[in-house]
Amino acid sequence: MSGRWPDFARRWLVFVVFLGLWELVTRAVGNAYFPPPSRIASATLDTWFTATGMTDDILPSLGRMLAGWAIAVAIGVVLGVALGRSPVATDYVSPMFFFARAVPATLLVPVFLVAFGIGPKMEIVTVTFGAVWPVLLNTIDGSRSVDDVQAETVRAFRIPRAQWVFGVVLPTALPKIFAGMRLALSLAIILMVVSELMGGSSNGIGYRLVNAQGLFQFPQMWAWIVLVSVLGYVANLVLTAAERRALSWHPGFRAEADLLEA
């Protein structure tokens, strides 16, 4: 592994060269659908940084995504720990879980629309439905992996239930839970955009995206696309950092080395 600074510099150098090439190619080709990055950058001024762009579109979208994701994590972890420690109960419900996980959540948007109407409720439900499965299934898997000796020690010493769950089961399952949360977050971003594209929303990033398409404002449209990308990148960065902090003590945790950098 090279030092931190050269590494950092190399990344940005490549990135700047990439942007330069992109600029040159798009300028040379002159296709309206693919505006040069400089025009996209200036379009961010009248998309992200307008008076209403932040408060009416970006923050509501972000809020719905995080709400849906947080609900999915809460349901997934609580249910997952309960089921992970009772294999018999898991047998009864597993066919539905594996089936539901395979369903593309976006297909249920019409049902959620009828059930919850147009608006944030339906969008949050869509995000939650899609994001809950990786957390739930990973938590079940993680909770199962508690060492038998540990489980029996806890039983022999009559350790209280809360201490068993918070002191033994959850810490053991944590690496798996984090992996599920990361997968769920990337799904949540997709579903946030999709629910706004499909659900007849009247604000939000997805709505602005279709709106720009309808008005043939391609630089603005690209600005929204780039924003979704940036959100995905930042969200993953934050969660990875949290994971590294929370799990540095864990014997089973191997910091996911940057695969590309090795």
| Chain contacts with other proteins (rule: CB under 8 A) | 10-12, 14-15, 18, 33, 88, 91-96, 98-100, 102-111, 113-115, 130, 134, 137-138, 179, 183, 186, 189-190, 193-194, 197-198, 206, 209-210, 212-213, 218, 221-222, 224-225, 228-230, 232-233, 236, 258-262
Nearest CA among 177, 183, 103 for reference residue 140: 177
Closer of 166 and 233 to other proteins (Cβ): 233
Q: Compute the CA torsion angle 126, 131, 136, 138 (nearest 10 deg).
A: 160
Minimum CB separation of residue 45 from other proteins in Å reads: 20
The letter for the amino acid at 221 is M
Minimum CB separation of residue 133 from other proteins in Å reads: 10
Nearest CA among 142, 207, 194 for reference residue 169: 142
Closer of 151 and 210 to other proteins (Cβ): 210
Give the burial string for 208-244 (b: 16+ CB within 10 Å, else e).
bbebbeeeebbbbbbbbebbbeebbeebeeebeeebe
Minimum CB separation of residue 123 from other proteins in Å reads: 14
Closer of 34 and 167 to other proteins (Cβ): 34
Closer of 146 and 198 to other proteins (Cβ): 198
Q: What DSSP string describes 98-131? A: HHHHHS-GGGGHHHHHHHH-SSHHHHHHHHHHHH
Closer of 105 and 168 to other proteins (Cβ): 105
Question: CB 166: neighbour CB atoms within 10 A?
Answer: 12
Minimum CB separation of residue 95 from other proteins in Å reads: 5
Minimum CB separation of residue 36 from other proteins in Å reads: 15
